[in-house]
Structures are given as C-alpha cells and as structure tokens.
C-alpha cells in the first residue's frame, strides 16, 4: 500500500506565512487556495494564497487590511470569496464591519474585485455562490437580521428580510432556485432566489424547546442534490429531513455534521465518534465509520 501511495501521489509543501486554517481546491482541481485560522486573526494581516495544485508553486496572493481566515473558489474558478473573521464576527462593532466584510477577488491576478458591504461570514462556503446562470451571485448573512445577494461588482441585488434575530448562514440550492437561511430566531427559512419572497418557515421544533433557549439552535442546513429536500443539523434536535414540497419532516437521529457523497447517492451523518453512511434514496444504513474520538468534521 505504501509503495502504491508513493507511486501515485506527488508530495510538496505549500509555503505560507503562518499556520494554515483552510485549504480548498478550485473546481477543476488545478489550484488550491489557503487561508489562516481564525486564531491568527490578530497576527496579521495575513493573506490568502493560491497555489498550482500540480507543482505547489504560488500563483497569486490575496492581501487585505485584515487577516483572511477563509476562502473558496466560485463555480467557474475565476473568482475567490474570502472573509476575515476573528472567530466572533457577529459581535464586531458596527464601525468595524467593513473590515470583516466578505470580498471577491480575481483568482488569476490576486486583485480585489469587490467588498460585499453589510455582509459578514464566519466561514466561506461554495453554497454562497449561485451555481446556475451566467451572472455571478453571492449570498451572505448581513446586518439587520437579513441575508443579502450581491453581484460580482459587490452591488446589492436582493435583501432577504423576515428573521427577527441575526442570520448565521445563507446558501443556494443546487438548482439555484432557492436560498436557505439559518437564524438565531430558531427558524430556518427557504426563499425564492429571484424574487426574495419567503417560501417556507421551518420552526416546528419550537414547541419542543424551553422558553429560555437562546443562541444558535440549528448549526447547518444542506439541500439534497435535487433541491426538493433540506437537511437541518442540530446538536440539540438532531438531523431532520424536510420535504420542501409538503413541509413535512422526518427525524434521522443525532448528528452535528452532514454531507452528501459527490454522486448524491449517499448521506454521511457525524455524531460523537461515529459517522453513519446512509443510502440517500431509502435512508437505510450502509455502514458506520468509527473514530477513536469525536468526529469533528465530515466532508462532502
């Protein structure tokens, strides 16, 4: 096995100024973008860097006034979305929001294209980009308990207004027709991505919660490959599968991280030291992956 690994893997180091908190491939697999961890936010400003994935040679450097702590390529690979988060971006004073606003960059030249004013992100995600259409659209949580959609120039295109507390996550469905948002008002909402109209408010768990429950209840949400279902993930509530056409949910047990396989045929649910792999179509258990300790992250 070791001989096979050595024969089929290229080994090199990607040289960075400090610790690396993230490393992500471009959609074509030819480049890698790296960013510093949030714990190094005050050590900077530290840049994000783009490397050739085959040689390890640097291709571009993305440098702003603050340390870049998360970065992801857009679906075309021509742009990169970054954020600068000290690990508690939602408590940043109003006058400092511009410093942590998400930014779009030209991936080839390393030049900033736009700052998404009023938006904020703890971590970038590929679902921030609309996956369809010829126009670049980016959705992020924003000030005033909203989410906002911007174009590639950083111009505001749409405001999703309806939550009564801070929005912690916003992302597109695979077909680009819907947007999901998670909020500290203990609701998950589905929006029409073109008009901004609210389509669904998922909050049936409220009758199971004590009145004093505060803060982030749902940690993540993930559309199914066909965009007709949504998975919500909560340490307190477990994983629930929502049929968006019927507004009905099915409990899938405990979980703190969820991910689909690339072909959309399998669903991985992490909880404690175990990752359950389910057949997506009939929800039957295919296998269990057991770790020695808490499974921190499950990747798509």
Q: Is residue 293 over pLDDT 80?
A: no
The C-alpha atoms of residue 45 and residue 43 are separated, in whole angstroms, by 7
How many residues appear in the chain?
A: 300
Would you state the structure tokens that stand for residue 160, as one six-digit string?
A: 């999703």
- Cα angle vertex 253, ends 252, 258, to 5°? 70
- Dihedral of the alpha carbons of 201, 205, 206, 211, in degrees to the nearest 10: -150
Residue 109: pLDDT band (50, 70, 90) is: very high
Strands 248-251 and 257-260, by their bridges, are: unpaired
Counting residues of the chain whose pLDDT is more than 70, the rounded percentage is: 83
The CA-based dihedral angle spanning residues 233, 239, 241, 242, taken in that order and rounded to the nearest 10 degrees: -50
For 52, the token pair is 């050739």
Domains of the chain: 14-124 (2.130.10.10), 131-239 (2.130.10.10), 254-300 (no CATH)
- What confidence score (pLDDT) does residue 87 get? 67
What's the 3-state SS for 11-41? Answer: CCCCCCCCCCCEEEECCCCCEEEEECCHHHH
Lowest pLDDT segment from 9-13, 88-92, 202-206, 223-227: 88-92
pLDDT at 174 over 60: yes
Residue 296 pLDDT level (bands cut at 50, 70, 90): very low
Residue 85 has a pLDDT of 80
Residues 202-248 pLDDT 10s: 988 877 766 555 567 888 999 999 999 999 988 888 899 999 998 78
Average pLDDT over residues 260-281: 85
Q: Is 197 or 37 the better-scoring residue by pLDDT?
A: 197
pLDDT value of residue 26: 95
**CA–CA distance, 259 with 147 (Å, rounded to integer):** 23
Confidence of residue 5 (pLDDT cuts 50, 70, 90): very low
Run of H or E including 100: helix 97-100
Q: Taking residues 85-112, report their average pLDDT.
A: 76
The pTM score is 0.86
- DSSP line for 162-220: --SS-EEEEEE-TTSSEEEEEETTS-EEEEETTT--EEEEE-GGGGGS-TT--S----E
Name the pLDDT band for 260 (thresholds 50, 70, 90). Answer: confident
Instruction: Please compute the mean of the pLDDT values over residues 70-90 and round it to a whole number.
Output: 85
232, two tokens: 């919500």
Closest CA to 112 of 195, 48, 23, 59: 48
Can you give the pLDDT at residue 25?
A: 94
Share of the chain above pLDDT 90, in %: 51
∠ CA(49), CA(33), CA(154), 5° rounding? 85
* Cβ-based neighbour number of residue 121 at 10 Å: 27
């Amino acid at each position: 096995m070791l001989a096979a690994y050595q024969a089929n893997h290229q080994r090199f180091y990607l040289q960075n100024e400090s610790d690396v908190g993230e490393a992500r491939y471009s959609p074509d697999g030819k480049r890698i973008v790296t960013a510093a961890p949030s714990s190094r936010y005050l050590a900077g400003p530290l840049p994000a860097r783009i490397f050739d994935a085959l040689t390890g040679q640097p291709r571009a450097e993305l440098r702003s006034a603050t340390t870049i702590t998360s970065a992801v390529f857009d679906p075309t690979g021509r742009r990169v979305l970054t954020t600068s988060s000290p690990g508690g971006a939602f408590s940043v004073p109003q006058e400092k929001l511009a410093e942590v606003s998400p930014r779009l960059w030209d991936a080839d030249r390393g030049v900033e294209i736009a700052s998404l004013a009023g938006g904020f992100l703890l971590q970038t995600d590929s679902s921030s980009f609309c996956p369809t259409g010829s126009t670049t659209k980016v959705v992020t949580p924003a000030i005033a308990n909203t989410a906002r959609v911007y174009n590639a120039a950083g111009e505001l295109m749409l405001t999703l207004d309806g939550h009564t507390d801070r929005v912690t996550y916003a992302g597109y469905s695979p077909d680009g027709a819907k947007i999901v948002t998670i909020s500290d008002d203990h609701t998950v909402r589905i929006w029409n991505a073109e008009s901004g109209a609210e389509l669904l408010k998922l909050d049936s768990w409220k009758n199971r919660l004590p009145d004093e429950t505060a803060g982030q209840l749902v940690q993540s949400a993930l559309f199914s490959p066909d965009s007709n279902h949504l998975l919500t993930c909560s340490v307190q509530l477990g994983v629930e599968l929502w049929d968006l056409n019927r507004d009905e949910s099915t409990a899938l047990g405990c979980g703190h991280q969820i991910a689909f396989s690339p072909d959309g045929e399998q669903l991985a649910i992490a909880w404690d030291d175990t990752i359950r792999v389910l057949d997506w179509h009939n929800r039957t258990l295919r296998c269990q992956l057991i770790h020695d300790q808490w499974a921190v992250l499950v990747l798509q």
